[in-house]
Amino acid sequence: MEKEAEKFLQAEETAVRLVETLKQLHAEATSYQTATKELDTVRQRLLNLIESTEKVVSVSHEIVTILKEIGGPEILNRLTKVKDKVSEEFVKQSKSLQKLKTLIIVTLASSVIAIIIGIIAFLR
C-alpha cells in the first residue's frame, strides 16, 4: 500500500510539474504572439514610411531634372530679370505716391485757404 501511495504522490507531483510547464509554455506562446503582432505593426509602419519616402524622392527627382534642364545660369538670369522688373515697378510706384502726396498737400492747402477766405468774408 505504501508503494501505491508513493506512486500516487509521484504521479501527483509529476502532474503538478506538467501543469506548471504547460502554464509556462502558454505564457511564452502568448508573449511570442504579442511580439509577432507588434512586429507586424512596426513592419506596416516601416512600409508606410518607405512608400512616403519613395514619393518624396520621386518628386525631388522631377524637380532636380527640371532644374537641370533649365540650367543654373538660366535660373539666375530669370531671377535677375524678375528683380529688375520689381525694382522698376517700385520706382514707378514711388513716383506715383510722391505725385499723390503732392496732390493731397495742394488740396489740403487749397481747402485751408478757402476756409480762411470764407471766415474773412463772413467776418466782414
CA distances from 97 to 52, 93, 107, 117 (A): 50, 6, 15, 30
Q: Tell me the whole-structure pTM to 2 decimals.
A: 0.41
DSSP letter, residue 1: -
Is the Cβ–Cβ distance between 43 and 51 less than 8 Å? no
DSSP letter, residue 71: -
Domain residue limits, the chain: 1-70, 73-124
In order along its 124 residues, the chain shows pLDDT tens digits of: 677 777 777 888 888 888 888 888 888 878 878 878 888 888 899 999 999 999 888 888 888 888 788 777 888 888 899 999 999 999 999 999 999 999 999 999 998 998 899 888 887 7
